[in-house]
Amino acid sequence: MSGKSDYLSLGARIAKLNISMTELTAYFRVKCSNCGHQRIVHDEFGKCEGVMNKPCSSGCDVFDPE
């Protein structure tokens, strides 16, 4: 694990995409019309992992933006 350097290089990659943190945050805060949870709790395949250690009760497995 190289923790901090991973974090810094990720920051550099995000900057290269010409995306502001405001836009990135807004992107991850979009809610799912299937389960009502934010995109950020859906994994890379779209499956919802739930919030606050509670699994998603809807069994959502595809993120669908509202």
Choosing from 5, 21, 32, 65, the residue that interacts with Zn ion (CB under 5 A) is 32
Q: Using CB under 5 A, which of 5, 30, 37, 45 touches Zn ion?
A: 37
**How many of the chain's residues bind Zn ion (CB under 5 A)?**
7
Q: Can you spell out the DSSP letters for the chain?
A: --HHHHHHHHHHHHHHTT--HHHHHHHHTPBBTTTS-BGGGB-TTS-B--BTTBPPTT---S--B-
Which of the residues 9 through 28 are near Zn ion (CB under 5 A)? Answer: none
Summarize as ranges the residues that interact with Zn ion (CB under 5 A).
Answer: 32, 34-35, 37, 48, 56, 60
